[in-house]
Structure 1
Amino acid sequence: MQIHQAMTLSLTLTHLYPDNLNLYGDLGNVVTLQRRCEWLGIACHLNALNLGDSAVSGQTDIYFMGGGQDNDQLAVVDDFHQLKQETIRADTEAETVFLGVCGGYQLMGNTFLMGDNQETKGLGIINVKTQAPSKDVKGRCIGNLVVELPSETYTEIQTIYEQPKEIPQTLVGFENHSGQTYLGENVAPLASTRAGFGNNHEAQYEGARYKNVFGSYMHGSMLPKNPHFADYMIWLALTRKYRDQNIKLKALPDTEEIAAHQYIVHRYGKA
Protein backbone atom coordinates (compact mmCIF):
# COMPACT_ATOMS: atom_id res chain seq x y z
CA MET A 1 0.00 0.00 0.00
CA GLN A 2 1.43 3.39 -1.01
CA ILE A 3 -0.03 5.66 1.69
CA HIS A 4 2.04 8.64 0.52
CA GLN A 5 0.24 8.72 -2.83
CA ALA A 6 -3.18 9.04 -1.18
CA MET A 7 -2.51 11.63 1.53
CA THR A 8 -0.08 14.29 2.70
CA LEU A 9 2.41 12.81 5.11
CA SER A 10 3.45 14.74 8.19
CA LEU A 11 6.04 14.48 10.94
CA THR A 12 6.54 16.26 14.26
CA LEU A 13 10.16 17.13 15.09
CA THR A 14 10.95 18.01 18.71
CA HIS A 15 14.10 19.95 19.52
CA LEU A 16 15.18 19.25 23.10
CA TYR A 17 16.66 22.16 25.07
CA PRO A 18 17.42 24.50 22.14
CA ASP A 19 18.13 27.34 24.60
CA ASN A 20 20.77 25.34 26.49
CA LEU A 21 22.23 22.76 24.11
CA ASN A 22 22.97 24.93 21.10
CA LEU A 23 26.72 24.99 20.43
CA TYR A 24 28.71 24.13 17.30
CA GLY A 25 25.96 24.95 14.79
CA ASP A 26 24.06 21.74 15.41
CA LEU A 27 20.80 23.60 14.79
CA GLY A 28 21.69 22.78 11.17
CA ASN A 29 20.46 19.25 11.81
CA VAL A 30 16.99 20.56 12.63
CA VAL A 31 16.99 22.87 9.60
CA THR A 32 18.07 19.99 7.34
CA LEU A 33 15.23 17.75 8.51
CA GLN A 34 12.74 20.58 8.00
CA ARG A 35 13.98 21.44 4.51
CA ARG A 36 14.23 17.88 3.30
CA CYS A 37 10.71 17.19 4.49
CA GLU A 38 9.57 20.29 2.58
CA TRP A 39 11.33 19.16 -0.61
CA LEU A 40 9.90 15.67 -0.20
CA GLY A 41 6.35 16.99 0.18
CA ILE A 42 6.13 16.05 3.86
CA ALA A 43 4.64 18.49 6.37
CA CYS A 44 7.10 19.01 9.25
CA HIS A 45 5.91 20.55 12.51
CA LEU A 46 8.67 21.84 14.81
CA ASN A 47 8.24 21.68 18.58
CA ALA A 48 10.69 22.90 21.24
CA LEU A 49 11.01 21.47 24.74
CA ASN A 50 13.00 23.69 27.10
CA LEU A 51 13.58 23.77 30.84
CA GLY A 52 10.24 23.56 32.62
CA ASP A 53 8.37 21.97 29.69
CA SER A 54 6.79 18.53 30.01
CA ALA A 55 6.96 15.94 27.25
CA VAL A 56 3.73 14.28 26.09
CA SER A 57 3.93 10.67 24.95
CA GLY A 58 3.14 9.86 21.34
CA GLN A 59 3.31 13.47 20.15
CA THR A 60 6.75 13.33 18.51
CA ASP A 61 8.14 11.42 15.54
CA ILE A 62 11.77 12.62 15.73
CA TYR A 63 13.66 14.00 18.73
CA PHE A 64 16.90 15.98 18.36
CA MET A 65 19.30 17.03 21.12
CA GLY A 66 22.55 18.88 20.51
CA GLY A 67 25.55 19.74 22.68
CA GLY A 68 26.37 22.52 25.10
CA GLN A 69 28.91 23.67 27.63
CA ASP A 70 29.35 21.53 30.74
CA ASN A 71 27.22 23.81 32.91
CA ASP A 72 24.39 23.78 30.38
CA GLN A 73 24.53 20.02 30.07
CA LEU A 74 24.34 19.61 33.83
CA ALA A 75 21.44 22.09 34.01
CA VAL A 76 19.14 19.94 31.89
CA VAL A 77 19.66 16.62 33.73
CA ASP A 78 17.34 17.19 36.69
CA ASP A 79 14.71 18.81 34.47
CA PHE A 80 14.81 15.87 32.09
CA HIS A 81 14.33 13.28 34.84
CA GLN A 82 11.49 15.24 36.44
CA LEU A 83 9.53 16.29 33.35
CA LYS A 84 10.61 14.30 30.30
CA GLN A 85 12.44 11.05 31.05
CA GLU A 86 9.48 8.71 31.50
CA THR A 87 7.76 9.91 28.32
CA ILE A 88 10.82 9.98 26.06
CA ARG A 89 12.04 6.64 27.39
CA ALA A 90 8.66 5.12 26.50
CA ASP A 91 8.70 6.77 23.07
CA THR A 92 12.19 5.58 22.18
CA GLU A 93 11.46 2.05 23.40
CA ALA A 94 8.51 2.18 20.97
CA GLU A 95 11.04 3.05 18.21
CA THR A 96 10.51 6.79 17.94
CA VAL A 97 13.53 8.28 16.13
CA PHE A 98 16.04 10.14 18.31
CA LEU A 99 19.34 11.82 17.34
CA GLY A 100 21.79 13.14 19.93
CA VAL A 101 25.03 14.86 18.89
CA CYS A 102 28.18 15.26 21.01
CA GLY A 103 27.02 16.54 24.42
CA GLY A 104 23.52 15.40 23.53
CA TYR A 105 24.95 11.96 22.75
CA GLN A 106 26.85 11.83 26.04
CA LEU A 107 23.76 12.86 27.99
CA MET A 108 21.71 10.06 26.41
CA GLY A 109 23.72 7.50 28.36
CA ASN A 110 23.60 6.31 31.96
CA THR A 111 26.45 8.27 33.53
CA PHE A 112 29.14 10.85 32.87
CA LEU A 113 32.26 10.59 35.04
CA MET A 114 33.72 14.09 35.38
CA GLY A 115 37.42 14.93 35.59
CA ASP A 116 37.13 15.30 39.37
CA ASN A 117 35.72 11.74 39.58
CA GLN A 118 32.24 13.12 40.30
CA GLU A 119 29.66 10.94 38.58
CA THR A 120 26.77 12.75 36.92
CA LYS A 121 23.57 10.90 36.17
CA GLY A 122 22.72 10.74 32.48
CA LEU A 123 19.30 10.61 30.86
CA GLY A 124 19.27 6.81 30.65
CA ILE A 125 17.96 6.56 27.09
CA ILE A 126 20.65 4.13 25.90
CA ASN A 127 23.17 1.90 27.63
CA VAL A 128 26.37 3.92 27.22
CA LYS A 129 28.65 5.73 29.62
CA THR A 130 31.11 8.58 29.17
CA GLN A 131 34.09 9.62 31.25
CA ALA A 132 36.41 12.56 31.17
CA PRO A 133 40.01 11.94 30.04
CA SER A 134 42.09 10.07 32.60
CA LYS A 135 45.84 10.17 33.25
CA ASP A 136 46.19 7.76 30.33
CA VAL A 137 44.12 9.86 27.90
CA LYS A 138 44.91 13.55 28.06
CA GLY A 139 44.18 14.87 24.59
CA ARG A 140 40.89 15.87 23.00
CA CYS A 141 39.41 13.96 20.09
CA ILE A 142 39.33 16.69 17.49
CA GLY A 143 39.40 16.82 13.70
CA ASN A 144 37.60 15.60 10.62
CA LEU A 145 35.78 12.33 11.05
CA VAL A 146 35.07 9.82 8.27
CA VAL A 147 33.18 6.65 9.14
CA GLU A 148 31.62 3.71 7.30
CA LEU A 149 28.08 2.54 7.93
CA PRO A 150 27.44 -1.17 8.61
CA SER A 151 26.49 -3.04 5.45
CA GLU A 152 23.00 -3.82 6.75
CA THR A 153 22.26 -0.13 7.41
CA TYR A 154 23.67 0.91 4.05
CA THR A 155 21.62 -1.73 2.25
CA GLU A 156 18.46 -0.60 4.01
CA ILE A 157 19.05 3.05 3.10
CA GLN A 158 19.35 2.04 -0.55
CA THR A 159 15.77 0.67 -0.42
CA ILE A 160 14.02 3.81 0.87
CA TYR A 161 13.81 5.68 -2.47
CA GLU A 162 11.24 5.49 -5.26
CA GLN A 163 14.03 5.31 -7.84
CA PRO A 164 17.54 3.88 -7.47
CA LYS A 165 19.91 6.48 -6.05
CA GLU A 166 23.66 6.31 -5.68
CA ILE A 167 24.57 7.10 -2.10
CA PRO A 168 27.84 6.82 -0.16
CA GLN A 169 28.33 4.23 2.54
CA THR A 170 30.23 6.82 4.54
CA LEU A 171 29.26 9.57 6.98
CA VAL A 172 31.42 12.65 7.52
CA GLY A 173 31.63 15.32 10.19
CA PHE A 174 33.89 17.16 12.61
CA GLU A 175 34.51 15.97 16.15
CA ASN A 176 35.64 18.03 19.14
CA HIS A 177 35.22 16.25 22.46
CA SER A 178 37.24 15.28 25.51
CA GLY A 179 34.73 12.77 26.87
CA GLN A 180 35.40 9.11 26.14
CA THR A 181 32.23 7.10 25.45
CA TYR A 182 31.87 3.34 25.89
CA LEU A 183 28.99 1.21 24.65
CA GLY A 184 27.19 -1.31 26.86
CA GLU A 185 25.06 -4.33 26.06
CA ASN A 186 22.35 -4.09 23.38
CA VAL A 187 23.91 -0.98 21.84
CA ALA A 188 25.69 -1.18 18.49
CA PRO A 189 28.16 1.32 17.00
CA LEU A 190 26.67 3.67 14.45
CA ALA A 191 29.67 3.15 12.15
CA SER A 192 33.32 2.11 11.99
CA THR A 193 35.99 4.80 11.91
CA ARG A 194 38.11 5.40 8.80
CA ALA A 195 39.64 8.71 9.88
CA GLY A 196 39.41 10.41 13.26
CA PHE A 197 38.56 8.92 16.64
CA GLY A 198 34.82 8.54 17.20
CA ASN A 199 33.65 7.23 20.57
CA ASN A 200 37.06 7.30 22.25
CA HIS A 201 40.78 7.15 21.58
CA GLU A 202 40.79 3.36 21.30
CA ALA A 203 37.40 2.31 19.96
CA GLN A 204 37.74 2.55 16.15
CA TYR A 205 33.97 2.99 16.16
CA GLU A 206 31.82 6.08 16.05
CA GLY A 207 28.48 6.73 17.68
CA ALA A 208 25.78 4.37 18.83
CA ARG A 209 22.48 2.87 17.76
CA TYR A 210 19.72 1.33 19.85
CA LYS A 211 16.45 0.67 17.98
CA ASN A 212 15.84 4.04 16.24
CA VAL A 213 17.98 6.01 18.69
CA PHE A 214 21.24 7.37 17.25
CA GLY A 215 24.15 9.06 18.99
CA SER A 216 27.10 10.67 17.23
CA TYR A 217 30.09 12.93 17.82
CA MET A 218 29.71 14.48 14.36
CA HIS A 219 29.36 18.23 14.26
CA GLY A 220 29.54 20.06 11.01
CA SER A 221 26.49 19.87 11.16
CA MET A 222 26.00 16.13 10.73
CA LEU A 223 22.88 15.92 8.55
CA PRO A 224 23.66 18.64 5.94
CA LYS A 225 26.84 16.73 5.06
CA ASN A 226 25.06 13.38 5.06
CA PRO A 227 21.73 13.88 3.26
CA HIS A 228 21.21 10.14 2.83
CA PHE A 229 21.27 9.69 6.59
CA ALA A 230 18.80 12.57 7.05
CA ASP A 231 16.50 10.79 4.59
CA TYR A 232 16.95 7.56 6.54
CA MET A 233 15.79 9.23 9.75
CA ILE A 234 12.77 10.70 7.95
CA TRP A 235 11.92 7.32 6.42
CA LEU A 236 12.23 5.52 9.75
CA ALA A 237 9.89 8.05 11.33
CA LEU A 238 7.35 7.80 8.51
CA THR A 239 7.23 4.02 8.36
CA ARG A 240 6.81 3.86 12.12
CA LYS A 241 4.09 6.53 12.25
CA TYR A 242 2.05 5.17 9.35
CA ARG A 243 2.87 1.49 9.96
CA ASP A 244 3.77 1.02 6.30
CA GLN A 245 7.19 -0.31 5.32
CA ASN A 246 6.33 0.33 1.66
CA ILE A 247 6.59 4.11 1.99
CA LYS A 248 9.28 5.42 -0.38
CA LEU A 249 10.92 8.82 -0.68
CA LYS A 250 11.60 10.84 -3.80
CA ALA A 251 15.26 10.67 -4.77
CA LEU A 252 16.40 14.29 -4.40
CA PRO A 253 19.44 15.16 -6.58
CA ASP A 254 21.75 16.30 -3.70
CA THR A 255 24.51 17.19 -6.19
CA GLU A 256 26.17 19.84 -4.03
CA GLU A 257 25.67 17.94 -0.78
CA ILE A 258 27.23 14.73 -2.05
CA ALA A 259 30.09 16.64 -3.71
CA ALA A 260 30.91 18.26 -0.35
CA HIS A 261 30.64 14.89 1.34
CA GLN A 262 32.96 13.17 -1.12
CA TYR A 263 35.52 15.98 -0.89
CA ILE A 264 35.90 15.24 2.82
CA VAL A 265 36.08 11.49 2.21
CA HIS A 266 38.78 11.87 -0.45
CA ARG A 267 40.80 14.37 1.55
CA TYR A 268 40.68 12.77 4.98
CA GLY A 269 39.35 9.22 4.63
CA LYS A 270 41.58 6.21 4.74
CA ALA A 271 41.24 3.38 2.24
Structure 2
Amino acid sequence: MPDSLTLTLTHLYPDHLNLYGDTGNLIVLRRRCQWRGIDCTVKSLSMGEVSRPGETDLYFMGGGQDNDQVAVVEDFHQLKADTIQADTEAGVVFLGVCGGYQLMGNTFLMGNGQETPGLGIINVTTKAPGTEVKQRCIGNLVAEIPDAMYEEIQSLYAESQAGKSQIIPKTLVGFENHSGQTFLGEGVEPLAKTVAGFGNNAAAEYEGARYKNVFGSYMHGSLLPKNPHFADYLIGLALRRKYQDPTLTLPPLADTEELEAHHYAVARYGSTRG
Protein backbone atom coordinates (compact mmCIF):
# COMPACT_ATOMS: atom_id res chain seq x y z
CA MET A 1 0.00 0.00 0.00
CA PRO A 2 1.43 3.45 -0.91
CA ASP A 3 2.35 6.00 1.73
CA SER A 4 -0.40 8.37 0.53
CA LEU A 5 -3.96 7.33 -0.29
CA THR A 6 -6.24 8.77 -2.96
CA LEU A 7 -9.93 8.40 -3.77
CA THR A 8 -12.06 9.61 -6.67
CA LEU A 9 -15.76 10.25 -6.01
CA THR A 10 -18.24 10.69 -8.88
CA HIS A 11 -21.49 12.63 -8.46
CA LEU A 12 -24.08 11.33 -10.93
CA TYR A 13 -26.49 13.89 -12.41
CA PRO A 14 -25.89 16.70 -9.89
CA ASP A 15 -28.11 19.09 -11.89
CA HIS A 16 -31.12 16.75 -11.94
CA LEU A 17 -30.88 14.63 -8.79
CA ASN A 18 -30.14 16.96 -5.89
CA LEU A 19 -33.14 17.34 -3.58
CA TYR A 20 -33.10 17.77 0.21
CA GLY A 21 -29.44 18.75 0.40
CA ASP A 22 -28.19 15.33 -0.62
CA THR A 23 -24.98 16.89 -1.95
CA GLY A 24 -24.06 17.12 1.74
CA ASN A 25 -23.24 13.43 1.53
CA LEU A 26 -20.41 14.14 -0.90
CA ILE A 27 -19.16 17.01 1.25
CA VAL A 28 -18.95 14.64 4.23
CA LEU A 29 -17.06 11.99 2.27
CA ARG A 30 -14.58 14.53 0.94
CA ARG A 31 -14.02 16.20 4.32
CA ARG A 32 -13.55 12.94 6.19
CA CYS A 33 -10.95 11.94 3.64
CA GLN A 34 -9.17 15.29 3.86
CA TRP A 35 -9.10 15.23 7.67
CA ARG A 36 -7.22 11.93 7.42
CA GLY A 37 -4.79 13.11 4.76
CA ILE A 38 -6.47 11.16 1.97
CA ASP A 39 -6.36 13.01 -1.36
CA CYS A 40 -10.00 13.05 -2.47
CA THR A 41 -11.19 14.25 -5.88
CA VAL A 42 -14.88 14.86 -6.58
CA LYS A 43 -16.06 15.00 -10.19
CA SER A 44 -19.49 15.37 -11.75
CA LEU A 45 -20.97 13.09 -14.39
CA SER A 46 -23.87 14.91 -16.01
CA MET A 47 -26.25 14.56 -18.95
CA GLY A 48 -24.42 14.05 -22.23
CA GLU A 49 -21.16 12.91 -20.61
CA VAL A 50 -19.73 9.45 -21.19
CA SER A 51 -18.41 7.36 -18.30
CA ARG A 52 -15.36 5.15 -18.63
CA PRO A 53 -14.55 2.08 -16.54
CA GLY A 54 -12.03 2.23 -13.74
CA GLU A 55 -12.08 6.01 -13.36
CA THR A 56 -13.85 6.26 -10.00
CA ASP A 57 -13.83 4.58 -6.60
CA LEU A 58 -17.28 5.67 -5.38
CA TYR A 59 -20.45 6.81 -7.14
CA PHE A 60 -23.13 8.94 -5.51
CA MET A 61 -26.63 9.65 -6.86
CA GLY A 62 -29.12 11.81 -4.99
CA GLY A 63 -32.88 12.28 -5.04
CA GLY A 64 -35.07 13.97 -7.62
CA GLN A 65 -38.66 14.53 -8.62
CA ASP A 66 -40.36 12.08 -10.97
CA ASN A 67 -39.71 14.17 -14.09
CA ASP A 68 -36.03 14.53 -13.20
CA GLN A 69 -35.71 10.79 -12.73
CA VAL A 70 -37.30 10.12 -16.12
CA ALA A 71 -35.01 12.68 -17.77
CA VAL A 72 -31.80 10.86 -16.90
CA VAL A 73 -32.85 7.29 -17.80
CA GLU A 74 -32.23 7.46 -21.55
CA ASP A 75 -28.93 9.27 -21.05
CA PHE A 76 -27.80 6.63 -18.56
CA HIS A 77 -28.56 3.69 -20.80
CA GLN A 78 -26.92 5.29 -23.83
CA LEU A 79 -23.80 6.78 -22.26
CA LYS A 80 -23.14 5.31 -18.82
CA ALA A 81 -24.83 1.96 -18.19
CA ASP A 82 -22.13 -0.43 -19.38
CA THR A 83 -19.38 1.30 -17.42
CA ILE A 84 -21.29 1.73 -14.16
CA GLN A 85 -22.73 -1.77 -14.20
CA ALA A 86 -19.25 -3.20 -14.86
CA ASP A 87 -17.74 -1.05 -12.10
CA THR A 88 -20.35 -2.00 -9.50
CA GLU A 89 -20.13 -5.69 -10.38
CA ALA A 90 -16.39 -5.34 -9.79
CA GLY A 91 -16.99 -3.91 -6.30
CA VAL A 92 -16.88 -0.16 -6.87
CA VAL A 93 -18.89 1.54 -4.11
CA PHE A 94 -22.21 3.15 -5.05
CA LEU A 95 -24.65 5.09 -2.85
CA GLY A 96 -28.12 6.11 -4.05
CA VAL A 97 -30.53 8.12 -1.87
CA CYS A 98 -34.33 8.25 -2.20
CA GLY A 99 -35.08 9.03 -5.87
CA GLY A 100 -31.56 7.93 -6.67
CA TYR A 101 -32.22 4.69 -4.80
CA GLN A 102 -35.49 4.10 -6.69
CA LEU A 103 -33.76 4.84 -9.98
CA MET A 104 -31.06 2.24 -9.28
CA GLY A 105 -33.62 -0.55 -9.66
CA ASN A 106 -35.17 -2.38 -12.60
CA THR A 107 -38.39 -0.38 -12.97
CA PHE A 108 -40.26 2.36 -11.17
CA LEU A 109 -43.96 3.12 -11.52
CA MET A 110 -44.72 6.82 -11.35
CA GLY A 111 -47.69 8.38 -9.61
CA ASN A 112 -49.28 9.06 -13.02
CA GLY A 113 -49.22 5.35 -13.86
CA GLN A 114 -46.23 5.56 -16.19
CA GLU A 115 -43.80 2.68 -15.75
CA THR A 116 -40.23 3.66 -16.52
CA PRO A 117 -37.21 1.36 -16.86
CA GLY A 118 -34.68 1.95 -14.14
CA LEU A 119 -30.91 1.81 -14.36
CA GLY A 120 -30.72 -1.88 -13.49
CA ILE A 121 -27.84 -1.47 -11.04
CA ILE A 122 -29.60 -3.40 -8.29
CA ASN A 123 -32.48 -5.90 -8.29
CA VAL A 124 -35.26 -3.80 -6.76
CA THR A 125 -38.53 -2.39 -8.10
CA THR A 126 -40.49 0.67 -6.99
CA LYS A 127 -44.22 1.21 -7.43
CA ALA A 128 -46.51 4.15 -6.84
CA PRO A 129 -48.79 3.58 -3.85
CA GLY A 130 -51.99 1.68 -4.51
CA THR A 131 -55.31 2.01 -2.78
CA GLU A 132 -54.00 0.09 0.22
CA VAL A 133 -51.46 2.83 0.94
CA LYS A 134 -53.19 5.87 2.40
CA GLN A 135 -50.19 8.06 3.13
CA ARG A 136 -46.70 9.01 2.10
CA CYS A 137 -43.83 7.45 3.98
CA ILE A 138 -42.67 10.61 5.66
CA GLY A 139 -40.95 11.34 8.95
CA ASN A 140 -37.90 10.49 10.98
CA LEU A 141 -36.38 7.10 10.32
CA VAL A 142 -34.22 4.98 12.64
CA ALA A 143 -32.84 1.61 11.55
CA GLU A 144 -30.50 -1.00 13.00
CA ILE A 145 -27.38 -2.12 11.13
CA PRO A 146 -27.00 -5.89 10.53
CA ASP A 147 -24.43 -7.65 12.73
CA ALA A 148 -22.10 -8.57 9.85
CA MET A 149 -21.95 -5.01 8.56
CA TYR A 150 -21.46 -3.65 12.07
CA GLU A 151 -18.46 -5.92 12.54
CA GLU A 152 -17.03 -4.67 9.23
CA ILE A 153 -17.45 -1.08 10.38
CA GLN A 154 -15.67 -1.84 13.65
CA SER A 155 -12.81 -3.48 11.74
CA LEU A 156 -12.11 -0.20 9.94
CA TYR A 157 -10.71 1.49 13.02
CA ALA A 158 -7.21 0.69 14.24
CA GLU A 159 -7.14 -1.62 17.25
CA SER A 160 -4.71 0.74 18.94
CA GLN A 161 -7.59 3.19 19.35
CA ALA A 162 -8.91 1.63 22.56
CA GLY A 163 -12.61 1.94 23.13
CA LYS A 164 -13.46 3.36 19.69
CA SER A 165 -15.52 0.32 18.74
CA GLN A 166 -17.63 0.75 21.87
CA ILE A 167 -19.02 4.11 20.75
CA ILE A 168 -19.81 3.23 17.14
CA PRO A 169 -23.61 3.38 16.83
CA LYS A 170 -25.37 0.26 15.60
CA THR A 171 -28.05 2.47 14.09
CA LEU A 172 -28.63 4.75 11.13
CA VAL A 173 -30.83 7.85 11.33
CA GLY A 174 -32.39 10.11 8.73
CA PHE A 175 -35.57 11.63 7.35
CA GLU A 176 -37.71 9.91 4.70
CA ASN A 177 -40.25 11.48 2.34
CA HIS A 178 -41.45 9.20 -0.43
CA SER A 179 -44.65 7.84 -1.92
CA GLY A 180 -42.91 5.14 -3.94
CA GLN A 181 -42.92 1.67 -2.42
CA THR A 182 -39.69 -0.27 -2.99
CA PHE A 183 -39.43 -4.06 -2.96
CA LEU A 184 -36.20 -6.08 -2.88
CA GLY A 185 -35.56 -8.86 -5.36
CA GLU A 186 -33.39 -11.96 -5.25
CA GLY A 187 -29.76 -11.41 -4.30
CA VAL A 188 -30.39 -8.09 -2.56
CA GLU A 189 -30.14 -7.63 1.20
CA PRO A 190 -31.74 -4.87 3.29
CA LEU A 191 -29.40 -2.12 4.39
CA ALA A 192 -30.86 -2.08 7.92
CA LYS A 193 -33.85 -3.17 10.02
CA THR A 194 -36.45 -0.47 10.65
CA VAL A 195 -36.81 0.60 14.29
CA ALA A 196 -38.93 3.72 13.76
CA GLY A 197 -40.47 5.07 10.58
CA PHE A 198 -41.17 3.10 7.42
CA GLY A 199 -38.19 2.40 5.17
CA ASN A 200 -38.64 0.58 1.88
CA ASN A 201 -42.43 0.66 1.91
CA ALA A 202 -45.38 1.32 4.21
CA ALA A 203 -45.43 -2.29 5.43
CA ALA A 204 -41.69 -2.96 5.41
CA GLU A 205 -39.61 -4.01 8.35
CA TYR A 206 -36.44 -2.99 6.57
CA GLU A 207 -34.81 0.14 5.20
CA GLY A 208 -32.72 0.39 2.07
CA ALA A 209 -30.84 -2.23 0.11
CA ARG A 210 -27.38 -3.65 -0.44
CA TYR A 211 -25.86 -5.63 -3.31
CA LYS A 212 -22.07 -6.10 -3.18
CA ASN A 213 -20.82 -2.55 -2.48
CA VAL A 214 -23.97 -0.90 -3.85
CA PHE A 215 -26.20 0.77 -1.26
CA GLY A 216 -29.63 2.36 -1.54
CA SER A 217 -31.41 4.30 1.21
CA TYR A 218 -34.46 6.48 1.75
CA MET A 219 -32.64 8.54 4.39
CA HIS A 220 -32.26 12.22 3.68
CA GLY A 221 -31.11 14.61 6.28
CA SER A 222 -28.43 14.31 4.78
CA LEU A 223 -27.67 10.65 5.48
CA LEU A 224 -23.93 10.81 6.12
CA PRO A 225 -23.46 13.88 8.41
CA LYS A 226 -25.44 12.21 11.20
CA ASN A 227 -24.05 8.75 10.44
CA PRO A 228 -20.27 9.27 10.33
CA HIS A 229 -19.64 5.56 10.90
CA PHE A 230 -21.52 4.75 7.69
CA ALA A 231 -19.57 7.44 5.81
CA ASP A 232 -16.36 5.81 7.03
CA TYR A 233 -17.68 2.43 5.95
CA LEU A 234 -18.12 3.66 2.37
CA ILE A 235 -14.67 5.25 2.40
CA GLY A 236 -13.12 2.11 3.89
CA LEU A 237 -14.76 -0.20 1.36
CA ALA A 238 -13.56 2.00 -1.49
CA LEU A 239 -9.99 2.15 -0.16
CA ARG A 240 -9.77 -1.56 0.62
CA ARG A 241 -10.94 -2.38 -2.89
CA LYS A 242 -8.68 0.16 -4.61
CA TYR A 243 -5.54 -0.92 -2.77
CA GLN A 244 -6.48 -4.59 -2.49
CA ASP A 245 -5.90 -4.50 1.26
CA PRO A 246 -8.71 -6.00 3.39
CA THR A 247 -6.83 -5.05 6.57
CA LEU A 248 -6.64 -1.31 5.80
CA THR A 249 -7.85 0.82 8.72
CA LEU A 250 -8.82 4.45 9.22
CA PRO A 251 -7.71 6.69 12.07
CA PRO A 252 -10.89 7.58 13.97
CA LEU A 253 -12.16 11.15 14.15
CA ALA A 254 -13.66 12.76 17.24
CA ASP A 255 -17.15 13.13 15.71
CA THR A 256 -18.48 14.82 18.85
CA GLU A 257 -21.19 16.92 17.17
CA GLU A 258 -22.02 14.25 14.61
CA LEU A 259 -22.62 11.58 17.22
CA GLU A 260 -24.56 13.96 19.45
CA ALA A 261 -26.93 14.59 16.54
CA HIS A 262 -27.15 10.87 15.87
CA HIS A 263 -27.90 9.86 19.45
CA TYR A 264 -30.43 12.68 19.84
CA ALA A 265 -32.37 11.32 16.84
CA VAL A 266 -32.27 7.78 18.21
CA ALA A 267 -33.42 8.90 21.67
CA ARG A 268 -36.24 11.08 20.35
CA TYR A 269 -37.59 9.01 17.48
CA GLY A 270 -36.34 5.47 18.00
CA SER A 271 -38.98 4.17 20.38
CA THR A 272 -41.85 3.66 17.93
CA ARG A 273 -42.39 1.81 14.67
CA GLY A 274 -44.49 3.34 11.89
1:148-181 per-residue CA deviation (whole Å, 9 max, x = no partner) reads 0001101111110112412000000000000000
Contact 1:150-1:192 within 8 A present in 2 as well: yes
Where does residue 136 of structure 1 map in the other structure?
132
| Equivalent in 133, 136, 143 of residue 147 of structure 1 | 143
Q: Structure 2: which amino acid aligns with 1:228?
A: H
Q: 2:107 matched to 1:111?
A: yes
Where does residue 205 of structure 2 map in the other structure?
204
- Displacement of 1:115: 2.9
Where does residue 13 of structure 1 map in the other structure?
9
Q: Structure 2: which amino acid aligns with 1:256?
A: E
Q: 2:36 matched to 1:40?
A: yes
Could you say what secondary structure the match of 1:130 adopts? strand
Where does residue 75 of structure 2 map in the other structure?
79
Q: Structure 1: which amino acid aligns with 2:172?
A: L
Where does residue 124 of structure 1 map in the other structure?
120
- Displacement of 1:108: 0.1
Where does residue 90 of structure 1 map in the other structure?
86
**Structure 1: 5+ residue stretches without partners:** none
Q: Structure 2: which amino acid aligns with 1:130?
A: T
Distance, in Å, in 1 between the alignment partners of 2:210 and 2:36 is 25
- Displacement of 1:138: 2.8
- Displacement of 1:70: 1.1
- Displacement of 1:118: 2.2
Could you say what secondary structure the match of 2:77 adopts? helix
Q: Structure 2: which amino acid aligns with 1:202?
A: A
Contact 2:143-2:195 within 8 A present in 1 as well: yes
1:231-263 per-residue CA deviation (whole Å, 9 max, x = no partner) reads 000000000000011211001110110011000
**Structure 2: 5+ residue stretches without partners:** none
TM-score, length basis structure 1: 0.97
RMSD: 0.9
Where does residue 264 of structure 1 map in the other structure?
265
Where does residue 242 of structure 2 map in the other structure?
241
Contact 1:115-1:134 within 8 A present in 2 as well: no
**What stretches of structure 1 move > 6 A for 4+ residues in a row?**
none
Q: 2:159 matched to 1:171?
A: no
Where does residue 29 of structure 1 map in the other structure?
25
| Equivalent in 58, 76, 93 of residue 62 of structure 1 | 58
Q: Structure 2: which amino acid aligns with 1:207?
A: G
Q: Structure 2: which amino acid aligns with 1:234?
A: I
- Displacement of 1:119: 1.2
Q: Percent identity?
A: 69
Contact 2:66-2:110 within 8 A present in 1 as well: no
Could you say what secondary structure the match of 2:224 adopts? helix
Distance, in Å, in 2 between the alignment partners of 1:48 and 1:133 is 33
Contact 1:149-1:171 within 8 A present in 2 as well: yes
